[in-house]
Each structure stands twice: as structure tokens, then as C-alpha cells.
Amino acid sequence: MNKSNEGFLELWYSSMMIGSISMVALAIIVYLIYKMRVSMINDLKEKHDFINQNEVKWYKWFYYLIGAAAAFAVNLYGQDNNGGIGIWFIVRLFISICAATLIGYVASLVLEYYYPTVLNFKLRRLRYTPRVNPKTGSKMRLLSEDEEDVHLDEGMQAEENLFSIDYDVWVDEKTGDVKIEKYQGHLLALQCNNCGFYTMKVQREEIVERNEDGSPRELLKHYQCAYCKNVRATQFTISRKEAEDYKNQKPKRKGNPKNVELIKMDVHSNLGHKKSFEFSSVEEAQKFLSEFDFDKLV
Ligand SMILES: [Zn+2]
């Protein structure tokens, strides 16, 4: 091996070492900055929106940097027992690029398609954790009516790309204080009926029915799954209530029914029969119970 080759290899290996270490360091910094930014947001709704829009992006950067670190590290392999720059050098370089691509690609697939399920639980916890009235410190309660209704901001109705919003209305039952949170419906991912991932998002929305005075009444949301491309369309009633109207509204019942994902019910008869039922909402379960007659089922 001649002198200049030796010098080059020495430089090469030390740069690979520095590169690998600095990429790992950078990845850790990216992760910590993200976590710090999240922890600096106190408001649960703001935290929800920030995580919803940023977590996947930041985590991707973390894994891209880890991929780059791996590529540098691969080029350190076998540095003690070789002869100069040969074909193996090129092969190793090629393998290192493949390794980085693989890590980046697999991580972004996982983050795009699998991770939203995990994210969804995190986001739901932020959205439905009982709010605290800043004035009194007491817990507020989420109004549950009009769950199927969506809202349109006045300014939005004129826009071409119409996107409706969901209101979450929190009420302090003792003082009557109200906190209203607006969620952009099209930014929230739903579970796809076909593949089961939380990758179903609104693509576009259109007004399909109007009232006599021309104000919009029914809205059709077109969803598409980012993973399996399955589509679905759901119609919603457009609420005529503005955010302010909720301030005079009293909660209809106790509890926090919006938190419920599934209700399982076992009904045992005195003859030893048993029937199991599942419901997706408190309303459904209540309706079922009010009409329930065991004899008709057996
Ligand atoms: Zn799907």
C-alpha cells in the first residue's frame, strides 16, 4: 500500500467515526428538542394540535439521522485488516448506502402507517382529558350532544377548499363557564375499515344540501386511506350554532360519554341464559336497554 493511500484511509476512517458519532448526537438533539417543545405547551388542545402535526415529521428526522449514522459506521467495518483501496472499499460504501436507505425507508413506513394508531390514543387522551376551569380549578365536562354535527367557520364557507370543524364544548357546571375548542376535522386521522390503520383522512368536503335561505345544511366528507387507498363518504349535518350559542346550553346528562369507545354488556336471565352485546356509544346502549326483552331473544 502506498503512502498516499494510507493517508487517505486514515482520514477516511476518522471522518467516518466522527460522522457516525455526530449523526447519533444530532438524532438525540432532534429528539430532545421535539420533546422539549411538546413539554413547553401547557394547553392540552394546543399540545394535541402540535403533536398531531409534528410528531411523525420529527420522528422521521430522528430515524433519517440514525440511518446516516449507520452508514458511517458500516464504513468502519474491517478497517484493521485490509490492504488499500480495492473493490471491497466500493462494495462496503454501497452496502452502507443501502443500510441507511433501508433504515430511513422502514422507519418512514412504520411512522406513516403503523404509528398513527399509537398516536391516535395519545391524541384522544389529550383531547378528552377533562379540562380545568382556570378561574376556579374545578373540572369541566364535555357536552355530548350534536356529536354528528359539524361546523363551518363563516369565512370558510366562501373558500374553495371547504373544511369543516368540530367543536368540543367544555362546561363548568358549577359556574357555567364554557371553554370551546375547535378541531380541524380534516387533520384528524380515523381508523380505516378496510386495513385497520388510523390512516383515513378527509380529502375534500362538499355541501350537498342547503336550507331555503341558502345556508348550508348537509355536508359530505370524502375520506381516503393513505395506506390501502380505500375510500368512504359520510354525510354530516351542518350545525347552525355558533361557538357562542353553546354558552347558554346546559349539559343534558352526567358522565363523559364522548370518552367511550365500546360498551360490552352481558345479560344473564334467571334461567341461566346469557347474551352478550356490544355498543359503540352510551346512547345506543341506553336505547337497547330501554327496549330490552329477554324472552324475544331466547
Ligand atoms: Zn386502509
Q: Can you tell me the distance from the alpha carbon of 151 to that of 165, in angstroms, rounded to the nearest whole number?
A: 5
Residue predicted with more confidence, 16 or 287: 16
Q: Can you tell me the distance from the alpha carbon of 142 to that of 133, in angstroms, rounded to the nearest whole number?
A: 12
Measured in Å, residue 72 CA sits from the centre of ligand 1 at: 36
**Residues 128, 144 contacting (CB under 8 angstroms):** no
Arithmetic mean of pLDDT, 274-298: 78
pLDDT category of residue 297 using cuts at 50, 70 and 90: low
Measured in Å, residue 225 CA sits from the centre of ligand 1 at: 5
The lowest-confidence range among 55-69, 106-120, 202-216, 259-273 is 259-273
What does the block give as the cell for 9?
484511509
**Residues 278, 266 contacting (CB under 8 angstroms):** no
**Residues 168, 145 contacting (CB under 8 angstroms):** no
Model confidence at 255: pLDDT above 60: no
What does the block give as the cell for 203?
380529502
Model confidence at 27: pLDDT above 80: yes
pLDDT category of residue 169 using cuts at 50, 70 and 90: confident
Q: Can you tell me the distance from the alpha carbon of 162 to that of 62, in angstroms, rounded to the nearest whole number?
A: 34
Q: Give burial (CB, 10 Å; 0-12/13-18/19+) of 90.
A: exposed
Measured in Å, residue 60 CA sits from the centre of ligand 1 at: 21
Q: Can you tell me the distance from the alpha carbon of 110 to that of 117, in angstroms, rounded to the nearest whole number?
A: 11
Arithmetic mean of pLDDT, 196-202: 94
Measured in Å, residue 206 CA sits from the centre of ligand 1 at: 22
pLDDT for the residue numbered 9: 86
pLDDT for the residue numbered 85: 74
Q: What beta strand segments (E) does the chain contain? A: 141-142, 149-150, 165-171, 178-184, 200-210, 216-225, 231-238, 263-268, 274-279
What does the block give as the cell for 263?
360498551
pLDDT for the residue numbered 83: 62
Measured in Å, residue 15 CA sits from the centre of ligand 1 at: 44
Arithmetic mean of pLDDT, 142-157: 67
Model confidence at 147: pLDDT above 60: no
Percent of the chain topping pLDDT 90: 46
Model confidence at 298: pLDDT above 70: no
Q: How many helices (H) and strands (E) does the chain have?
A: 6, 9
Arithmetic mean of pLDDT, 128-142: 90
Q: Which residue has the cell 473493490?
A: 87
Model confidence at 188: pLDDT above 70: yes
What does the block give as the cell for 39?
413539554
Measured in Å, residue 74 CA sits from the centre of ligand 1 at: 36
pLDDT tens digits along 68-126: 999 999 998 887 766 667 788 889 999 999 999 999 999 999 999 999 999 999 999 99
Averaged pLDDT of the chain:
85
pLDDT for the residue numbered 214: 81
